[in-house]
Amino acid sequence: MARACGVRLLALESVDSTNDEARRLIEMGERGPLWVVAARQTGGRGRLGRQWISPPGNLHASLILRDFAEAAVAPQLGFVAGVAALSALRAATGGAGRFALKWPNDLLLDGAKLGGILLENVSAPTGDARAPVAAVAIIGIGVNCAEAPLDLPFEARTLASIGPSAPDSATLFARLSDAFVETLDLWRGGDGFALIRDAWLKDAAYLGAHIRVELPRETVEGRFETIDAIGRLVLTTHNGARAVEAGDVSLGPRQTAAGGVA
Ligand code: BTN
């Protein structure tokens, strides 16, 4: 279906990072929609400058997309990607596995990290003197289909762990590219973000729970209430409502050295 809708595919055996390859292609004039998929990445990147271990058997895919009116709505594409990825995981596994979305961009299986989304934007020339540059989005998605790193500060899981109904990365990608077409239709270049937000919240991990968000200079704690109209996480803290734009979320209050809670 994705191909019939004009979405092209560049399939590579090995690349440093599909997001980096997508950026190079944009710099050479590519405007998408185009999927860049690689069997393995030698320099896979995660959020916040982290490394993303990318062995053969896992899914590594980046979508180049220019189909939205203004750069301001581009951050919503992380939520579009989360909704599409969950829909693809459910379709590809026949409903086996308990999948969830962890704000902002994690895919969970049974509460452990299964995959993640790395959303980046490039300002690209348009050739139009009235609007000389336009945002082009790179939506990178990685799923631990076959292997998951063991040495992380949090638990990670493979899709293979669900048993015989686990799809391989090619089958999952076919579902993902179709689910993306459907989810982008729902999003309508930003006009349908309310629908995406509702769908995302239905599968949100920790909603209503006491969470901790590590920000660059502080840690915020409180009850996870919702995400707002621009995708920020909204918490009720001791000092009232607080909306945060980026950070690492974990469950529960901070543990003190003495074994109590802070
Ligand atoms: C995260 O959870 O930190 C985001 C991980 C994103 C990994 C994907 S794999 C495909 C694309 N290419 C990359 O280098 N990163 C993303």
pLDDT digits (tens, 9 = 90+) for 41-81: 999 999 988 999 999 999 999 999 997 778 889 999 999 99
Distance (Å) from CA 240 to ligand 1 centroid: 34
Query: How far, in Å, is the centroid of ligand 1 from the Cα of 142?
Result: 5
Which residues sit with their C-beta closer than 6 Å to ligand 1? 17-19, 41, 44-47, 50, 52, 60-62, 105-106, 116-118, 140-142
In this predicted structure, what is the pLDDT of residue 259? 43
pLDDT at 169: 98
Nearest to 158 by CA among 118, 204, 109, 102: 109
Tell me which of 21, 45, 101 to substitute to probe ligand 1's pocket, judged by most ligand atoms within 8 Å of the beta carbon: 45
Closest ligand 1 atom to the C-alpha of 46?
3
Fill in the amino acid letter for 102: K
Q: What is the pLDDT of residue 10?
A: 98
Choose the residue to mutate in 19, 77, 144 for probing ligand 1, maximizing ligand atoms within 8 Å of C-beta: 19
Q: Which atom of ligand 1 is nearest to the CA of 142?
A: 9
Nearest C-alpha neighbor of 76 from the set 18, 22, 131, 137: 137
SS3 205: coil
Question: Burial letters for 84-113: b for 16+ Cβ neighbours within 10 Å, e otherwise?
Answer: bbbbbbbbbbeeebebbbbbbbbbbbeebb
CA-closest candidate to residue 205, choices 248, 166, 155, 249: 249
CA angle 155, 160, 162 (to 5 degrees): 80
Q: Could you identify the atom of ligand 1 that is nearest to the CA of residue 41? A: 14
Residue 185 Cα to ligand 1 midpoint, Å, equals 24
- Only one residue has tokens 């209503």, namely 208
Contact of 178 with 88, CB cutoff 8 Å: yes
Long-range Cβ pairs for the range 127-131 (8 Å, 24+)? none
Please state the rounded mean pLDDT for residues 113-130: 92
Q: What is the pLDDT of residue 256?
A: 47
Residue 70 has which token pair?
């203004």
Mean pLDDT value across residues 221-239 = 95
Nearest in space to 61 (alpha carbons), one of 174, 221, 182, 226: 174
Q: Kindly provide the residue ranges of all beta strands, DSSP E only, lying in 110-209, ordered along the sequence.
A: 112-125, 133-143
Q: How far is the CA of 236 from the centre of ligand 1 (A)?
A: 30
